[in-house]
Amino acid sequence: MASINVHTSKDGKTTYYVRIRRRGEQTQSATFPTRKDAQQWATMIEGQMIEGRHFPQRKPHHTLSELLERYIQDIMPRKTEETQRSQMSVIHFWREQLGHKLLTEFARADVIQGRDALKGKAPGTIHKYLVVLTHALNIAVREYGWIDTNVASTVSRPPLPPGRVRFLTDEERSRLLLECKRSKNQHLYALVSLALYTGLRRGALLHLRRQDIDLKNRILTIPKTKNKSTLVLPLVGEACNTIKSLLYNKNNEDYIFPGQDARGRWGSYSSAFEQAVKRANISNFSFHCLRHTSASYLIQSGVPLYVIGTILNHKNPSTITHRYAHLDTSNLKGALEILAQRLEG
């Protein structure tokens, strides 16, 4: 019996994946640009199977290295620059570990072997490595038709620890901003300050362009966020003045925050930020924690969680509820007071 699944890629391209299973026959699959083509092929192959005239062609032999190379060419450009940079090391790892393996012979045990080679790394890191491999194999199944099943999707992943929410106290914030002002990096203070005022991710800030700023209406636009959506945020308070000073800065770069480091744009700021954090005597704090700080301050000020989720551009609203709700216990207090009245009434 044939089944047709619709797949829409991140660039909006729709394809139709057909799989035909029949007892005593090898599973057949193919991908088509239209549902009509998919249905016609399914009808033809099923008819041939019934009449005993179907002699399936063997799938072409491709190695994991070939798949990863095509993944780099076709899929990676759709991701943000920062994501590409962080995932290239993952691709290199799988290419070195299992690149010689034929996809048609790729087994669950191979993935487990690669996963076990990552022992000693943080659970979140192991998750990232398996997610990238699983996605590449899904592309091989759904778009390239090189294999029928994705064995990586059945491999278990280590449990992730609870999400850590580290945010600055008012005193820590003052100390950090002071040290950023003292930094030899003349743009560090503006970067950290704008991160606190907007809650934007590091990559979004570092890739802000002059064309993304509308001073007249006091808004900034992120054309493509990590979640592949557009985000528009008002510029308020000191954030607007900070942006103005950056725009008036006489440099030839299109980016608001200049960066020439070979390791990527963050390479021009990472060392200066770490030194500022150290001088401010703040422990266990990364740049991403500035985003946590913005979210935490908003929650503690009584801003509704769904509004905060919109500002932070969370794809799933439940994420903001799960991660930050413990900071706002006002609704719990009211509920428990009702319970107390019943018990004491």
The DSSP annotation for 133-157 comes to: HHHHHHHIIIII-S-S--GGGGS--
For the ranges 16-20, 137-141, 166-170, the maximum mean pLDDT occurs at 137-141
Residues forming beta bridges with residue 63, ordered by sequence position: 102
How high is the pLDDT of residue 280?
A: 94
Structure-block tokens of residue 150 = 């994705």
Whole-number Cα distances in Å, 9 to 37, 243, 292? 19, 36, 31
Assess contact for 195 and 290: CB atoms under 8 A: yes
Average pLDDT, integer, range 213-233: 86
SS3 202: helix
> How far is it, in rounded angstroms, from Cα 86 to Cα 90?
8
SS3 65: helix
Q: Which of 5-9, 156-160, 207-211, 214-218 has the lowest mean pLDDT?
A: 5-9
Residue 281 pLDDT exceeds 90 = yes
Assess contact for 297 and 167: CB atoms under 8 A: yes
pLDDT tens readout for residues 313-328:
877 666 665 666 666 6
Residue 145 pLDDT exceeds 70 = yes
Which DSSP category does 59 fall into?
P
**φ and ψ at 200, to 5 degrees?**
-70, 150
Q: Which of 61-75, 205-219, 237-251 has the lowest mean pLDDT?
A: 237-251
Q: Which of 120-129, 233-242, 249-258 has the lowest mean pLDDT?
A: 249-258
Average pLDDT, integer, range 66-92: 88
Q: What mean pLDDT, rounded, does the chain reach?
A: 83
Helix axes 238-247, 188-198, angle to 10 degrees: 140
Average pLDDT, integer, range 106-124: 90
Residue 262's pLDDT band, with cuts at 50, 70 and 90, is very low
Assess contact for 145 and 31: CB atoms under 8 A: yes
